[in-house]
Amino acid sequence: MDYVLFGIQGSGKGTQGKILAEKLHAAYFETGGELRRLAAENSPLGQKVKSIIDAGHLVPNEVVMEIVEDFIKRAGRTDTATPIIWDGIPRNKEQNASFTSLLQKFNRPYTGIYFELSREEAENRLLKRRICSKCKTVYPANYSKALACEKCGGKLATRADDNADSIRTRLDIFFKETLPIVESWRTADKIFTVNAAPPITEVTKELFSRLSV
Ligand SMILES: [Zn+2]
């Protein structure tokens, strides 16, 4: 069974997704990370991705789907016994249609998980979180040792893109483009909701209990 993660920025879906991937020995697909990995790779697809990113363009949907297909086909993953956790896809209606047909094409059963967090709490978390200037580890709003990174000792700073306007724009896009997908999956009984407001360990506990893992 594949799991497709949905959640507003700040909901902690990436953190929970990685914990779940470890628990299930699943492969983990994160759109941004996959684009960066491919762009650094000397393959035809990697070079295509690199040229799009270097030109400053958004990666078009059909290329994103090539990336998804490439990911599924890589060693072992056409075996559906190895689950894939999908993070950051599908983001909009167009991606939803092509992404779900790809999963069907490869006979991959899937369930969505929606990490639900209020817009107010998301804004609050995003405005307060810090990032390490050296190793780029992100620290949540309630991280107490606010001065240095616990991994490398680097200085923690507010993320450059975490100013109020860009946060609002990103949240708007989620509500306008991604939330309708959550609603359509809910209607189709393809998704369940986890309350993302509690601390990380409690969210994990609820997630694992919902999945009986
Ligand atoms: Zn660091």
Kindly report, residue by residue over 123-138, the tens digit of the pLDDT. Answer: 888 888 788 889 888 8
Residue ranges with CB less than 5 Å from ion ligand 1:
132, 134-135, 137, 149, 151-152, 154
Instruction: Give distance in angstroms: CA of 73 to centre of ligand 1.
Output: 34
Structure tokens at 200: 């990380």
What pLDDT is attached to residue 137? 84
Instruction: Give distance in angstroms: CA of 157 to centre of ligand 1.
Output: 11
CATH tag for 2-118+179-211 (out of 1.10.3260.10, 3.40.50.300, 3.50.50.60, 3.40.630.30) = 3.40.50.300
The stretches in the chain having pLDDT less than 70 are 75-80, 141-146, 159-162
Q: Where are the domains of the chain?
A: 2-118+179-211
Instruction: Give distance in angstroms: CA of 156 to centre of ligand 1.
Output: 8
What pLDDT is attached to residue 66? 95
Q: Can you give the pTM of this predicted structure?
A: 0.86
Instruction: Give distance in angstroms: CA of 126 to centre of ligand 1.
Output: 18
Instruction: Give distance in angstroms: CA of 143 to centre of ligand 1.
Output: 14
What pLDDT is attached to residue 77? 63
* Residue (of 186, 194, 197, 189) closest to 210 by Cα position: 194
Can you give the three-state secondary structure of 117-157, one letter per residue? CCHHHHHHHHHHCEEECCCCCEECCCCCCCCECCCCCCEEE
